[in-house]
Amino acid sequence: MNSRARVVVLLSGSGSNLQALIDATANRTFPAQIVGVISDQPDAYGLKRAANADIATRCCDRADFNNRAEFEEAIGEAIASFAPDFVLLAGFMRILRGSLPDRYSGRMLNIHPSLLPRHKGLDTHQRAIDAGDIEHGCTVHFVTRELDAGPGLIQAKLDVGATADAAHLAARVLELEHQIYPLALRWLAEGRVSHSAEGVLLDGLALPDPVVMDVDALRC
């Protein structure tokens, strides 16, 4: 019997986080498997990564729909067609304004390239540099209706140091993302973590703030 949790990943672009998740879940002892990848961009490289890993794909191109509600309904149908336990947003560049965050409440994660609640939205790396931040990083959080505002689960930090270039900083942060997203999925699939009206629980204990991972230790 296959008892691995079923996961759908939504993306719009390169899909390097998807790749990290594919690599982690390729090990059959991992408690989750990716059963589908959905993109709003027909030419997203992430779709190729999925196909290379024999993962089913769907594309819902916003241009094919009359309005946002119809587009989101199609996304919802595509997700539901995979009967997932969990939905992971990995560089999905659309804001879900309809009922999907509620429908998958406690079962939908996002990864964001900043230390939330700092720098919600776009251009996070340049904004961290402009703000003179000493630390920067990424956050895996539960998705709620409010953009980048759901409760955090895991963060990874780095010292901005002399990284004055946003592209370089983005690359450094992306490496951290690839470490913490599979870990967050593992915790979710193992049932170690939950999000409900009581907030986020990790191993039965309230988690008022995200766990900050020591990424060097994770690599060992």
Q: Establish if 32 lies at the interface with ligand GRF (CB under 6 A).
A: no
| CA pair distance 89, 11, nearest whole angstrom | 6
Instruction: Enumerate residues 121-140 that contact ligand GRF by CB under 6 A.
Output: 138
Sheet of 56-59, strand order: 56-59, 32-39, 5-11, 86-89, 108-112, 135-142, 152-159, 211-213
- Binding track over 42-61 against ligand GRF, x by CB under 6 A: ----x---------------
Binder of ligand GRF out of 84, 101, 113, 152 (CB under 6 A):
113
Question: 185 and 7 in contact (C-beta within 8 Å)?
Answer: yes
Q: Which residue is nearest to ligand GRF (CB)?
A: 91
Minimum distance from residue 43 beta carbon to ligand GRF (Å): 13
User: Closer to ligand GRF at the Cβ: 5 or 37?
Assistant: 37
- Chain centre distance of CA 64: 25
Q: Return the number of other C-beta atoms located less than 10 Å from residue 171's C-beta.
A: 12
Minimum distance from residue 41 beta carbon to ligand GRF (Å): 10
Q: Establish if 40 lies at the interface with ligand GRF (CB under 6 A).
A: no
Within 5-99, where are the H helices? 16-25, 45-52, 68-81
| CA pair distance 39, 15, nearest whole angstrom | 10
| CA pair distance 193, 185, nearest whole angstrom | 10
Is 112 annotated in the active site?
Answer: yes
User: Closer to ligand GRF at the Cβ: 78 or 115?
Assistant: 115
| CA pair distance 180, 68, nearest whole angstrom | 31
| CA pair distance 142, 166, nearest whole angstrom | 26
Minimum distance from residue 124 beta carbon to ligand GRF (Å): 8
Minimum distance from residue 93 beta carbon to ligand GRF (Å): 7
Binder of ligand GRF out of 16, 39, 41, 155 (CB under 6 A):
16
Binder of ligand GRF out of 7, 9, 10, 15 (CB under 6 A):
15
Contacts with ligand GRF: how many residues (CB under 6 A)? 15
Which parts of this chain interact with ligand GRF (CB under 6 A)? 11, 13-17, 46, 90-91, 111-113, 138, 174, 177
Catalytic sites, residue numbers: 112
